Amino acid sequence: MRTISERPFYINAIVVLPDHLHTVLTLPSGDSDYATRWRIIKARFSRQVKVGNRRASHLRRGERGIWQRRYWEHHIRDDDDFRAHVEYCWKNPVKHGLVKHPNDWPYSSIHRDLKWA
């Protein structure tokens, strides 16, 4: 919440899986600083997690080894593209064999979003 108050954005969809996450975010009009938001979110999260085993490359860079260094960013083109990416978030736990139905996965915005569908 602290990052949202400092650098506003809206979480349109999110799913947190055991080894990765997917989100669809909306930034304020005229603001495209997606990278800084992710850097802050990752850093703040990492500080809250106990340091585990790290590779030599993590040690050299002073990293916790929780996050991959890169991410995939996609600018939504239209309403169909938006819906497809939200549904991708929802269906990802099924794709990875974690559950049979998207709403069986507890760490997903599907529970918030389907209340309004």
The CATH number assigned to the domain holding 6 equals 3.30.70.1290
pLDDT at residue 49, as a whole number: 76
Q: Which of 34, 71, 88, 107 is catalytic?
A: 107
Instruction: Note the pLDDT tens digit of each residue in 55-89.
Output: 787 678 777 666 666 778 888 999 999 999 999 99
Contact 12, 25 (CB under 8 A): yes
- Short-list 5, 23, 4, 7, CA closest to 108: 23
Q: Which domain holds residue 105?
A: 2-113
Q: How many domains does the chain divide into?
A: 1
**Paired tokens of 54:** 């790290």
Residue 107 is among the residues annotated as catalytic for this protein: yes
- The segments of the chain whose pLDDT lies below 50 read 117
Q: One-letter amino acid identity for 3?
A: T
pLDDT at residue 36, as a whole number: 93
